[in-house]
Chain A
């Protein structure tokens, strides 16, 4: 657009400074992870990948990575199924009561995890779910529901309700309508929700600190112990691998969104 109002030099310069503040500290872990020294520092003489070798050759780190991955998969499954169905139900019924239900589903984002974590610590002790794969998967699944409800609701807002009415009018059952009319149209929204629910579980630490101790020792938990006990360059290597993984998931999400917008 010609003659559009563009930011002035001062606004641009300050925005650059903020951008550098946001991105630079995170990227510092890349050179540090390739240091040739035994302690956290920038590379002195050569670049070295030995700290990556340490991490990828350690049964403990690999075990935690696998455990985190499977917990994230299980909890994403819970969050996606429950969250998607709930968002569709709320969208279709759309009354005051469903607005309340949607608000209820957002609680895990609003209420600090520490409050949930201490509650769960006591609650799971009675159900014998402490330090269990199932316990952590349920906790992450339930707290992942909001991300799915939000993205699916956004996708549904762009969906023409008359399509659903037409399908039902022509005799399709509720399940058929779901399977053939609604779900295909909101698939990108569901995928976005799944990615966010996955990242949520993959990165989650506070709940894990309280409801898991020995048998379940996720990646964030191992990083936490590493930061508190021995700050060595292997931690930086783990951090870089984590950042790369998150970036990959985000790019996947952006690609999905672009495809949806192009439609």
Chain B
């Protein structure tokens, strides 16, 4: 078996560069974050105590969970509508519909946040249109609050919701639906009794994915929240850059990572990240 063993060594060597890069420049910095949360300002669990005692820490976590839950629910709803349409489309039309999902997915998050600011701010296009049509007398506060964050985040997350749902919907045998229709079931019944239950795994996978992506989101909440509504990621950045409170910032970062990994572990059987990106087109 010596040659076989030698061959294996060769293949292992191929893995080595990525493994070393990842360990030295990814895992090490992250491990350091986890370590600092236990050692600064003094060794111990002092930073974690703040989870139970500090009102501002609890408020940030509360805000984040609330916004993420709303975002996930809306992104799932809108994503499902789109995925349903795509899954049942003819091959030619499907290609166009998929582009509708893929193009926003790959357009810079900054560009999208900028577009929303252009539309939603006080002198923005939406307020202008509303004022000119006489629907409102005063410009509405559409951005730099939770509403603006949710609008922008849902917009960002819908494509991530569509892809896993679409992957699971396309595994549904179309003959089942045709048969149910042929046997006289109305459209709603076909959907409620056949399509919806069969697409449930994709729905759950999409929900988990969107939720964990939302938890650590930085740019969109920072721009559309205008610094007034703080979510966890922006709060961490603030602790590190402006307040130089490394202990508190890294503690929150650790909590964030643990929450995400635990959520993924619980749902590991339904969420396949590779499928999300692999089936991208």
Query: Chain A interface (Cβ within 8 Å of chain B)?
Result: 1, 3-8, 11-12, 14-15, 18-19, 21-23, 25-26, 28-29, 32, 39-42, 78, 81-83, 85-86, 88-90, 92-93, 98, 101, 104-123, 138-139, 141-143, 145, 147, 149-151, 153-154, 168, 174, 196, 199, 202-203, 205-206, 209-210, 220, 223-224, 227-228, 231, 235-236, 239, 242-243, 246-247, 249-250, 253-254, 257
Q: How many angstroms from the CA of A78 to the CA of B22 in the assembled complex? A: 11
Contacts of B184 in A (CB 8 A): none
Q: Check if A220 sits within 8 Å of B110, measured CB to CB.
A: yes
Q: A231 touching B117 by the CB < 8 A rule?
A: yes
CB neighbours of A139 from chain B (8 A): 25
Which residues of chain A are within 8 angstroms of B123 by Cβ–Cβ distance? 39-40
A255 shortest CB reach to chain B, Å: 11
Interchain CB contact under 8 A, A89 and B12: yes
CB-CB < 8 A to A15: which residues of B?
Answer: 81-82, 84-86, 97
Cα A242 to Cα B79 with chains together (Å): 25
* A206 and B85 within 8 A (CB): no
Contact B253 A114 (CB under 8 A): yes
**Can you report 30 A-B residue pairs in the complex whose CB atoms are below 8 A from each other?**
A5-B180, A11-B81, A11-B88, A15-B84, A18-B81, A21-B78, A28-B118, A32-B118, A42-B125, A89-B13, A93-B12, A101-B19, A104-B19, A105-B18, A107-B30, A108-B26, A112-B257, A112-B260, A114-B233, A115-B30, A116-B26, A116-B29, A142-B22, A142-B25, A142-B26, A145-B21, A147-B277, A154-B274, A174-B10, A220-B110
Q: Give B159 Cβ to nearest chain A Cβ, in Å.
A: 7
B178 interface residue per 8 A CB criterion: yes
Rank and list the top 6 A-B pairs by shortest CB-CB distance, nearest first. Answer: A112-B216, A119-B29, A15-B85, A86-B18, A89-B14, A5-B177
Binding site for A on B (CB under 8 A): 7-8, 10-15, 17-19, 21-22, 25-33, 36, 78-79, 81-82, 84-86, 88-89, 97, 100-104, 106-119, 121, 123-125, 155, 158-159, 174, 177-178, 180-182, 187, 190, 212, 215-219, 223, 233, 236-237, 240-241, 246, 249-250, 253, 256-257, 260-261, 264, 273-274, 277-278, 281
Q: Decide: B36 and A1 in contact? CB cutoff 8 A.
A: no
Q: Give chain A's interface secondary structure class.
A: helix
Q: Give chain A residues whose Cβ lies under 8 Å from the Cβ of B32.
A: 119, 122-123
User: A93 CA to B7 CA in the complex, in Å?
Assistant: 10
Q: Give chain B residues whose Cβ lies under 8 Å from the Cβ of A98.
A: 15
Chain A residue contacts of B215, Cβ below 8 A? 112
Please, which residues of chain B bring their CB within 8 A of the CB of A147? 277
Q: Which residues of B contact A42 (CB under 8 A)?
A: 125
Partner of B187, one of A8, A116, A122: A8
Q: Which of A101, A108, A117, A223 contacts B110 (CB 8 A)?
A: A223
Distance in angstroms between the alpha carbons of A250 and B280 in the assembled complex: 11
The answer on a CB contact under 8 Å between B281 and A257 is yes
Pairwise interchain contact A119-B159, C-beta atoms closer than 8 A: no
Are B181's CB and A5's CB within 8 A? yes
Residue of A whose beta carbon sits closest to that of B187? A8
| A196–B36 alpha-carbon span in the complex (Å) | 33
CB distance from A244 to the nearest CB of B (A): 10
Point out the residues of chain B lying under 8 angstroms from A254, CB to CB: 281
